[in-house]
Chain A
Amino acid sequence: MTRKVILFCLALLATPALAQGFAGMGTEAEGFAAPAPDPAFDFPADHGPHPDYRIEWWYLTANLEGPEGRRYGLQWTLFRSALAPGAREGWDSPQVWFAHAAVTTPEAHFFTERFARGGIGQAGVRADPFEARIDDWRMAGPSLDDMELTATGPDFAYDMNLQAEGPLVFHGDGGYSVKSDQGQASYYYSQPFYRIAGTLTLPEGGVPVSGAAWLDREWSSQPLAADQDGWDWFSLSFESGAKLMAFQLRQSDGSTYSSGTWIEPDGTTTALPDGAISAAPQARTEVAGRTVPTRWRLDLPARGVDVTVAALNPRAWMGVSVPYWEGPVTVSGSHDGTGYLEMTGYE
Chain B
Amino acid sequence: MLLRVENLSKAYPGPEGPVPVLRGVGLQLRAGETLALRGESGSGKSTLLHLVGGLDRADAGRIAIDGQDVTGLDDPGRAALRRGTVGVIFQQFNLIPSLNVRANIAFQARLAGRHDAARAARLADALGLTAQLDKYPEQLSGGQQQRVAIARTLAARPALVLADEPTGNLDEATAAAVMDQMLALVAETGAGLMMVTHSPDLAGRLGRQLHLRQGRLA
Assess A/B contact in the complex (Cβ within 8 A).
no
